[in-house]
Structure 1
Amino acid sequence: MQSLANNPARRSHVETQINFFTELARRSFDSARKLGELNLRLGRQRLEESINSGRQMLACMQPSAGSQH
């Protein structure tokens, strides 16, 4: 069996595969990191909206004013 050092074509092929999978892994981790950041941002926005809605409800003098049933 020939080693990689003795077969330049095989060595080149293996290096190309290693580079491909290294780049694929790097991009996958980068995408996962970006997705995590987006989820965090969305969660913070939703929390802020909920807090603001709660404050508006607490500040309301007559909660039923304007709605006539």
Structure 2
Amino acid sequence: MFTFSQEVPPALKAHIDAQYSMFAELSQKMFDTAQKINELNIQAAKTLVEGSLSSAQQVIVAKDPYEALSIAAAQAQPSAERVREYQQHLNNIAARTQVDLAKTAETHVPNTSRTAAAVADEVARKANEETEKAASRQKAAFERFNTSFERGDEQKPQTARPAT
């Protein structure tokens, strides 16, 4: 339909621009989310290492094995609490991301839909034009064929008879 020698139709260019804008913003939201998760993971790792070092120091200075076990057991509850907080932060990030993506889509989809409809209209218009041109060419060819056929009946060349 559109050859490389033709310019990109304005409707198609507008649709591509609208899609690019939507996908660029969605990509930015996803990148921001990945960055937040990365920051959360770094903070969780830092907290885990600090807690482990503190616990290890307390266990090392324990006076007997019972005190060491008591110190280690006492760290189980704070560790479980840190895991719960991590999961909560991760859920919050996911929820915010879902809201951001929905808002972004809500912002861009109407324009993208409008430009897609314009492209479809342009394609339909071009297809109708090409169909009409093809029909005209076929009609002209048929008329030339009929004219030549009609003239052929009147001016039939004599065929040579084979020699005996």
* Separation in 2, partners of 1:12, 1:54: 62
Match for residue 62 of structure 1? 64
Q: Offset at 1:39?
A: 0.7
Aligned pairs for 1:1-69 within 5 A: 1=2, 3-4=7-8, 7-64=9-66
What CA deviation, in whole Å up to 9, does each residue of 1:10-50 have, x standing for no partner? 33222110100111111111111111111111111110110
**Relative contact order: is structure 1 or structure 2 higher (C-alpha 8 Å, sep ≥ 6)?**
2
Report SS of the residue matched to 2:47.
Answer: helix
Report the residue type matching 1:50 in the other structure: S
Report SS of the residue matched to 1:3.
Answer: coil
* Separation in 1, partners of 2:66, 2:44: 31
Question: How many residues were matched structurally?
Answer: 64
Report the residue type matching 1:3 in the other structure: E
Report SS of the residue matched to 2:11.
Answer: helix
Report SS of the residue matched to 1:64.
Answer: helix
TM-score w.r.t. the length of structure 1 is: 0.74
